[in-house]
Copies of this chain bind each other. A is one copy, B any other.
Amino acid sequence: MEEPRKRARPGRSPAPAGRTARPRQAEVARLAGVSQATVSLVLADKREGPAISEETRQKVLEAARSLGYVPDPAARRLAAARNNLLGVFSFTATFPTDVQHSYYPFLVGVEREAAERGYDLVLFTGSSTGGAGAAGPEALSRVRLADGCLFLGRHAPVQELGRLVTDGFPVVHLGRRDDPEGLHWVGADYVSAAHEVVDHLAALGHRRMVLIREDDEAPASTDREHGFLKGLETAGLHGGPETVFRSADPARDLTPERLRGWLADGVTAFVAEETDTGAAWRALLRAVADAGLDCPRDASLALLGSPPADLADGPEPTGFDIPRTRLGAAAVRMLAALVAGEEATEPLVACAFRPGATSGPPPAVHGH
């Protein structure tokens, strides 16, 4: 913005200062004694399109090599009407100092897949309200500079996202989301994953199990419950409403007494939802310990997700891992498809089942 930056005068002289300027196709063409278009054709190396004689091809390649010709990416992208850029927009800093909450695992997948497909990544930071970019609602429209954009985090304003979507700008949200109508997203397949956990427990011989969940309506929660209930159904087990224990504060409500009550009722396995805080899982572990029970022996436990970092050294919970890296890759795949004008690809990514050490056969029942 500051300095207009001298440009070569509109006039003739295409290569004024001899050596210094980068060679253009025009100069390669001159050296090879052909037209610029021919150079472009040779270097494009298409199979279709106009034929080129082997002789000409060699002349051009030789000329290009000797001049050290390298295509100008800006011109290339301008002409191609696409710039091979995918945006990544996060509403917090993409690289938070607090590594715990970082999108790192996603980015690993995003980068890999993007590279694979020949895309470069543009990082937009929603939190960059400080600098030049006016932080108004139109801040989001910066992303239009890319061919499409990936959104991370749930803080994306519905309004603006909807605008992009209805404008036909390719957008993919990382994490399931129903909000702006027609928004594309990729997410972990919690339904199948929870189902699989139930399968595992059922295969071990458990006939009654209870899901401990917190009291919120996020899709991630309801999906897990769905999968859990479907799993029970598939296994031919009872799936009534009492198989789901829902509490806004599991640490308070999930008492050892309640646990014993369930056990007395024949419940042998407990499945906890995973959340940010891991409250359900913590409460479950606590209750089991307080009731003086031994985990794999007296009762089997499972966690519908990965344990919180501070419990990482405990016994590995039966459950599943969210395939963050693969989610990132899947998001890029879908985005690439949308950019190419194709149908959206599969939004669900399978979770990785983790046998873990917190489940085993149910305790033998005496009266049987």
A111→B95 contact, CB < 8 A: yes
Quick check: is A72 within 8 A (CB to CB) of the other chain? yes
Q: Which of A73, A114, A121, A340 counts the most chain B CB atoms within 10 A?
A: A73
CB neighbours (8 Å) of A80 from chain B are: 5, 7
CB neighbours (8 Å) of A141 from chain B are: 68-71, 73
A163→B68 contact, CB < 8 A: yes
Contact partner of A122 (CB less than 8 A), chosen from B74, B107, B120, B168, is B120
A125→B115 contact, CB < 8 A: yes
CB neighbours (8 Å) of A340 from chain B are: 2-3
Within 8 A of B (CB), among A277-291: none
Beta-carbon nearest neighbor of A77 in chain B: B74
Quick check: is A124 within 8 A (CB to CB) of the other chain? yes
CB neighbours (8 Å) of A218 from chain B are: none
Quick check: is A128 within 8 A (CB to CB) of the other chain? yes
Quick check: is A53 within 8 A (CB to CB) of the other chain? no
Known: A108-B96, A115-B131, A340-B3. A72 touches B83 (CB 8 A): yes
A5→B116 contact, CB < 8 A: no
A78→B81 contact, CB < 8 A: no
CB neighbours (8 Å) of A163 from chain B are: 68, 70
B125→A22 contact, CB < 8 A: no
Quick check: is A130 within 8 A (CB to CB) of the other chain? yes
CB neighbours (8 Å) of A30 from chain B are: none
Interface membership of chain A positions 312-350, coded 1 if the CB is closer than 8 angstroms to chain B and 0 otherwise: 000000000000010000000000000011000000000
Q: Which of A3, A4, A93, A123 counts the most chain B CB atoms within 10 A?
A: A123
A84 to chain B, nearest CB (A): 8
Quick check: is A258 within 8 A (CB to CB) of the other chain? no
Known: A7-B81, A118-B131, A340-B2. A166 touches B99 (CB 8 A): no
B111→A142 contact, CB < 8 A: no
A105 to chain B, nearest CB (A): 9
CB neighbours (8 Å) of A7 from chain B are: 80-81
How many chain A residues touch B (CB < 8 A): the figure is 79
Within 8 A of B (CB), among A95-121: 95-97, 99, 102, 104, 107-108, 111-112, 114-121
Quick check: is A276 within 8 A (CB to CB) of the other chain? no
Contact partner of A78 (CB less than 8 A), chosen from B44, B72, B114, is B72
A93→B111 contact, CB < 8 A: yes
Of the listed stretches A132-140, A198-206, A351-359, chain B binds: A132-140
Rounded to whole angstroms, the CA-CA distance of A293 and B92 in the bound complex is 50
Beta-carbon nearest neighbor of A121 in chain B: B123
Beta-carbon nearest neighbor of A124 in chain B: B120
Show 13 residue pairs from A and B whose CB-CB distance is below 8 angstroms, ordered by the A residue: A1-B44, A3-B341, A20-B166, A65-B138, A70-B144, A71-B145, A74-B145, A78-B78, A104-B104, A115-B127, A119-B131, A120-B125, A123-B123
14 new A-B contacts, CB < 8 A, other than A70-B142, A70-B143, A93-B112, are: A1-B118, A5-B81, A69-B141, A70-B138, A73-B74, A73-B85, A78-B78, A84-B132, A93-B111, A104-B104, A114-B125, A114-B128, A116-B130, A120-B142
A residues at B contact (CB < 8 Å): 1-5, 7, 17, 19-22, 44-46, 48, 65, 68-78, 80-85, 93-97, 99, 102, 104, 107-108, 111-112, 114-125, 127-128, 130-133, 137-138, 141-145, 163-164, 166-169, 325, 340-341
